[in-house]
Amino acid sequence: MSYKMKDAKSVLLLLMLFAIPDFAKSQSIIYNRFDAQSQLANTSYDSSSIAFRSVIDYQDETAADYLEILSVFLHSSYNSKFAHGFNDGYLWQGRGFNQSFSLGVQGRLGKFEYTFAPVLNYNENKNYNLRSDFGSNPEFQNRFTTGIDYVMQYGNGSFSELYLGQSEIAYSHPKFRVSLGTANTFWGPAIFNQALMSNHANGFPNLRVGSNTPWQTKAGLFEMQWIFGITQESDYFNSDPDDDRKIFNGFVFGYAPKFFPGLSFTLQRTMQIQDKDRDGWSEYFILFTDFLRTSQQASDGSVNESADQTLSFGLEWISSGDDFKIYMEWIRGDFASNLPDFLTQPEHNAGYVWGFVKQFKLQDQKAIDFIFENANLAVWETGRVRSSGSLYQHSQITQGYTNNGQVMGAAIGPGSSFHAVNISYRNRKQSINFEFFRTRYNDDAYYLRLFDEVGRTQDIQYYLGLHWKDWLGNIEYQIGSGTGIRDNYLFESRKVIVNLHPQIILRYHFQKR
């Protein structure tokens, strides 16, 4: 089951239905990393969210019932040498031409809110060098990882897919919210590499129960979300149909203390188990029962680690002037053996993300934004002396922390490190954005397995991008391009590949903002 529709007639009917011009107001969905950056890098304090953010926004709940047609969204990109793209939701950007189109409706009826925003993708999907000469992983999987469904290319030849996309139906009460949908969400404070949940992979069918907006108390604001869902193996991992589905449980907690304005704490935890390994209905709720490896210990002392845990803790502080914020997130994968083990080596199977945003406010609603972020998910240091897989990998949940072959957390993937510098100038209508990303891929594989074979040959990409955003009537457009210089590509000594990555993003707003 892949949660997609391929019937051409259905696609045409949907497009005809939603092509009727009507009373839409504005774009209400985060589709890609540029949308996410504009929201997550905001330095103004937002009391409507602490630790959890959906890609879907609705009109204020004090407004009357409404129905609107969402803005037409069109994202075109090209990769000249290899697949590249991150935090792009339902769009996977392979080598060659990539296209994503979305159009839908959103509304409110009483206490019910709904968004239907299907996504239609086309991928040229040209072949490129996957280092198939190395290792024994399946053909289209990453050659340097184990215990993870980590797709580098989705088969041979071009393909098109229609997904339910960023869609949901929800019951919205002032104190709580219940939703059912397939939309992406963000957990924690990071901008480019959310450690536990991002929009890098496809969204997955899920039921969410939690606070509608943070609860106000004398101690401050509290936020809580529980997420239950089903994640899916890709078509390129193995041929066993019995392990295609994983049960996903997630818990998100946020707290903003009243006595320290601008400060917030976040705590996120997930548990995964193969659907085929589930003994009964109680296995759907192991998130609330299993915390240490001893919880999976049999009476004879053996451990059957059928569940996979991931935990993260975050901090964020926003200045009183609403022009600066700093954040960090620490992530730990798998179970600690016991409490002394956790206290002795908290860095085992752990990583971090941290960064800051500084806004320089100018006259006439103009501003310059400076963003820095650093992430390090490598766990090789303790891996030298004790058994350890990389973050997002697992020996028994062999698909790892993925959905449809893509990591659900930080886009850089297992064992990798990342530095970002992003500078943008913007006014009320226009913006220009310069970005520099340095990504060193899979240090865990390099230091623990490959060093003796390849020597000082670490796989590093330097990426430079420049993007312009403006309006033309009701059309909001973004044009830009990036160049990725990949040194020692896939650990191949002195292999330098230059990838060109132009992009055009268009939105047609039925009513100009």
Question: Using one digit for the tens of pLDDT, what is the confidence trace for 187-209?
Answer: 999 999 999 999 999 999 999 99
pLDDT tens digits for range 456-495 = 889 999 999 999 999 999 999 999 999 999 999 999 988 9
pTM to 2 decimal places: 0.90
**Rounded CA separation 55/436 (Å):** 25
Q: What is the pLDDT of residue 11?
A: 44
Start-to-end CA distance of the chain, whole Å, equals 39
Averaged pLDDT score across all residues of the chain: 88
pLDDT of residue 425: 97
Q: Give one word for 108, left, alpha or beta, with left for phi > 0 and alpha for psi -120 to 50.
A: beta
- Choice among 170-184, 225-239, 446-460 with the minimum mean pLDDT: 446-460
CA atoms within 13 A on the CB side of 75: 22
Q: What token pair was written down for 71?
A: 């803005």
Architecture of domain 4-508: Beta Barrel (2.40)
CA distance linking residue 268 with residue 223, whole number of Å? 11
- How far apart, in whole angstroms, are the C-alpha atoms of residue 185 and residue 56? 9
For the chain, what are the domain ranges?
4-508
pLDDT at 16: 42
Position 281 scores a pLDDT of 66
Return the structure tokens found at 200: 């890098």
